[in-house]
Structure 1
Amino acid sequence: MILNVLVDNNTFIDKYFLGEPALSYFIELNNKKILFNTGYSDIFLTNTSKMNISLANLDYIVLSHGHSDYTGGLKS
């Protein structure tokens, strides 16, 4: 399993990732690509670009629950 943190409230200063009080992960497991939550806004898209991660061929989008800090980026 490979787990990439796309959004949380901590960032690596030297990588210039964006952060917010939210959560989003990109998971690769058994040749499946999973977007787990989307954070509060569209910054998960900026961070995926900086990490050279493509969300074009996702197998699943999983939302853990309905709070906007986990689902707000879905509309993006």
Structure 2
Amino acid sequence: MLTRADALSTRASVARRQVSDHGRGRLNFSTEGAMDTAQRLYDGGFTTYMRTDSLSLSDEALTEARKEAVRMFGDAAISATPRQ
């Protein structure tokens, strides 16, 4: 049986699309079934987060993250313009 410690020792992250593809191909799950199972693993503490397929951030998220960095670490903590 897989333990929480076993699950947390895994190094590579898996994107949602990979979860769906592996669920359908290897386990014969529907897309919904694969994602439901992934959510239950997260809720049970067996995974640390559900990575999305996109690595981009909205302008709002960048602005808020920069504000928080300044609040926590001062103006020197951020560059003049955000990296996109």
Q: TM-score, normalised by structure 1?
A: 0.29
Structure (1/2) with the larger helix percentage: 2
Look at both structures and tell me which one has the larger radius of gyration over its CA atoms.
2
Q: If the length of structure 2 is used for normalisation, what is the TM-score?
A: 0.27
**Larger RCO: 1 or 2 (CA < 8 Å, sep 6+):** 1
Structure with the higher fraction of residues in strand conformation: 1
